Amino acid sequence: MVDDLVGLFDALFPNNRREVVVVGHSMGGAIAAHAVSSKRIQNVRGLVLIDIVEGSAMDSLPSIPMFINARPQTFESVESAIRWHIESNSIQNHESARLSVPSLLVPINDGKRMTWRTQLLPTEKYWKEWYSGLSKTFVSAPTAKLLVLAGTDRLDKELLIAQMQGKFQLEVLPLAGHTVQEDLPDRV
């Protein structure tokens, strides 16, 4: 998926001369960290990871498939998908849900229902690779770094030490859930 991210970036910004900040949330944060650390994206001025920490991610690996399988596979409408995100507390901010949830869905061939655009379970074989060593990958990325978390309990030992040494900036938003950027967009 790092190749996909780099390829997408190169397609959108060929011969990029602009300074960029690469941002990734959860699984996307792991991919962003690996892409930036590989130095395959040019002119990176910053890396922002949102609610992704190696220790917590590795600990949660066994339960992620159960979480994914517990989600509805289809929705009768975009509105029902938005309602599910709010009611399940996946997203706490109704306005954010209205803006972001439609892009998570695609119509099913019957033209009446919607399903998830991205099927996460087929990527399961990569999860351990993405998360293993993520703290070191993030801390050693050759750019300015910001880690945004919903709670300090998510910091693992390597990140705690690196943060105390000033190797990255930490922003904790304890009123947010896992989708920090959705729950508190004005703070992120």
Residue of 10, 26, 38, 100 marked catalytic? 26
DSSP 58-78: HHHGGGHHHHHHHS-SEESSH
**Cα 95 to Cα 77, 91, 165, 186, distances in angstroms:** 17, 10, 38, 12
Residue of 25, 34, 85, 178 marked catalytic? 178
Q: Is residue 51 among the annotated active site residues? A: yes
Own/partner contacts of 119-122, CB < 8 Å, gap of 24 or more, are 120/27, 120/64, 120/68, 121/65, 121/68, 121/69
Q: Is residue 34 among the annotated active site residues? A: no
Cα 152 from chain centroid (whole Å): 17
Residue of 25, 37, 51, 96 marked catalytic? 51
Q: Is residue 178 among the annotated active site residues? A: yes
Element (H, E) at 21: strand 20-25
Query: What is the set of active-site residues?
Result: 26, 51, 178
